[in-house]
Structure 1
Amino acid sequence: MYFQHPVSLENLETKKIILVHGEGFGAWCWYKTLSLLEEVGLIPIALDLKGSGIDLTDPNSVTTLENYSKPLTDYLHSLPDDEKVILVGHSFGGASVSYALECYPKKISKAVFLSATMVLDGQKPFDVFSDKLSSAEVFLKESQFLVYGNGRDKPPTGLMFDKQQIKGLYFNQSPSKDIALAAVSMRPIPLAPIMEKLSLTPENYGTAKRFFIQTLDDHMLSPDVQEKLVRDNPPHGIYKIKGSDHCPFFSRPQALNKILLEIAQLP
């Protein structure tokens, strides 16, 4: 039986936790995390980025990180000036979180990168995965995962892994029910935002408290790559989830919840 530690919500800077999904996913992937955070009195909000989840945009038409992240930046823009949120970005959702930090640093109390692309200024999110997927040039020439939304004679517009690859890369420790949910819910990944260089400045991006959660049985973003990310771009805190694949919201939801509560309660 799992017993929830008592949570002190008295002096929190914010109770709002915005959950930003990774590539191919949508708000749906956070269903366990949403209920666990709500049970202790926090206010989790899961967003669909452009062309993801139940957002009706064609993923092939999403050609910039700005456009892809618009549901997140629109949400932050609409917040009252005196209100802050905690952002949690999974996988490629880390790029949207970094972009949001650059745009709205004063509205973000903490940023959590969950096995995510925590890139440096001038880096492409794709660079983080490139150990796995070879260089961008080679990948774009050879990849059998590419989607050509504008026709074969035009540059590729998206990525789509097949079911067996997704299972091996993302869900090597996840319950079969969640793998089945993902199989019917995942959508093609807009390619252009992954290939875009981020522009991040010390006076905006650099002012936020960043935390990184490492997943130690991850086949998509290997523990070595995650180590390199935190070495190159040191966050304020590092947490580790043992036995977690790339998707701890499926494979280790209680462990993830415990860490998010701890980060929320940090001064």
Structure 2
Amino acid sequence: MAASGAHPAWMDEVPSFEDYSRPLLDAVAAAPAGDRLVLVGHSLGGLNLALAMERFPRKVAAAVFLAACMACVGRYMGVTIEEFSRRTTSGFFMDSKIMVLNTDQGPRPAVALGPKLLAAKLYDRSSVEDLTLAMLLVRPGCQFVDDPMMRDEALLIDANYGSVKKVYVVLTDDVSTSEEMQCWMVDLSPGTEAEVLAGADHMAMCSKPRELCDALLRIANR
């Protein structure tokens, strides 16, 4: 996503959720004609994945939501973030830094995840090396909860987003979110398949890479 990882932009330079999603949208749009992709969205990246599915449904063979926010047809995408907030305690973010970014669109809340939060709730079953790298690479992020796209109940429709095969990978030992919260999102989208992965933290690609790859191969080969 824009202003994430190695992307050169800064979050206060990203005007909208669509611009934030632009790297993914451009990558899917550039897929050769006839190719169908298996896309994987993790955590909040599930909402970017939903937008790509809505825009390019015939380019996506399957969408995999890995302990991710999974939107549903008929409800605005931000409802998943609101439900997560409702289910968590006020001290969830621990030592994270909450800030306000001054953007051309006005003030925007952002958060830089703190090292104690990373260690206790996201990388608690991952290696020290992966945790250390995450601490070095962490950047402020936004949820874009006030973006019009996040409030649009008509954004996702059955003919596009609703037509794409969805698989949710439930992480039963993820302490950053509950199994009940993950299953709540699955229930909102009837027909969604579920894979269960035990023993992984929120960063399953670090804590259970082999098991996650096996699950993704099963999904791709169905």
Query: Take 1:122 and 1:95, find their aligned partners in 2: how far apart are those partners?
Result: 11
With over 3 angstroms needed to count, the CA separation of the structure-2 counterparts of 1:190 and 1:167, relative to structure 1, is same
Residue 168 of structure 1 is matched in structure 2 by: 120
2:159 is equivalent to residue 203 of structure 1: yes
- 2:84 paired with 1:129: yes
3-state SS of 1:88 partner: strand
Gaps of 5+ in 1: 1-48
Residue 228, structure 1, aligned to residue 184, structure 2: yes
Please give the alpha-carbon distance, in whole angstroms, between the structure 2 residues aligned to 1:164 and 1:134: 16
Residue by residue over 1:40-97, the C-alpha shift from the partner in whole angstroms, topping out at 9 and shown as x without a partner, is xxxxxxxxx1000111111122242211110111111122321111100000110011
Question: Are 1:64 and 1:193, in contact at CA under 8 Å, matched by a contact in 2?
Answer: no
Q: 2:202 aligns with which of 246, 250, 257?
A: 246
Q: Distance in 2 between matches of 1:235 and 1:212?
A: 11
Partner AA of 2:192 in structure 1: H
Return the alpha-carbon distance in structure 2 between the equivalents of residues 116 and 192 of structure 1: 16
Shift, 1:221, TM fit: 1.9
Query: Contact 1:63 / 1:191 at 8 angstroms: preserved in 2?
Result: no
* Stretch deviating more after TM superposition (255-264 or 225-234): 225-234
Cα deviations across residues 199-246 of structure 1 (Å, max 9, x unaligned)?
210010011000000111111121110111111223432111111111
Aligned partner of 2:49 among 97, 121, 129? 97
* Larger CA deviation: 226-235 vs 51-60: 226-235
**CA distance in structure 2 between the partners assigned to 1:128 and 1:70 by the alignment:** 26
Aligned residues of 1:211 and 1:235 also touching (Cα < 8 A)? no
8 Å CA contact 1:244, 1:251 repeated in 2: yes
- Match of residue 218, structure 1, among 174, 178, 187: 174
The 8 Å contact of residues 51 and 58 in structure 1, kept in 2 or not, is answered as: yes
Distance 1:144 1:215, change over 3 A: closer
Partners of 1:131 and 1:208 in 2: CA distance: 29
Worse overlay, 187-196 or 71-80: 187-196
Q: Does 1:65 align with 2:65?
A: no
**What is the TM-score with the length of structure 1 in the denominator?**
0.72
1:149 aligns to what SS in structure 2?
strand
Provide the rounded CA distance (Å) in 2 between the counterparts of 1:193 and 1:70.
17
Structure 1: which amino acid aligns with 2:200?
Answer: S
Alpha-carbon shift at residue 122 of structure 1 (Å) = 1.3
Residue 86 (1) aligns with residue 38 (2): yes
Report the AA paired with residue 197 of structure 1: R
Q: What SS class does the counterpart of residue 58 from structure 2 fall into? A: helix
The count of aligned residue pairs is 210
Q: Tell me which amino acid in the other structure corresponds to 1:129.
A: F
Partner amino acid, structure 1, of 2:40: V
CA RMSD of aligned residues (A): 2.3
Q: TM-score, normalised by structure 2?
A: 0.86
- Contact 2:11/2:140 (CA < 8 Å) preserved in 1? yes
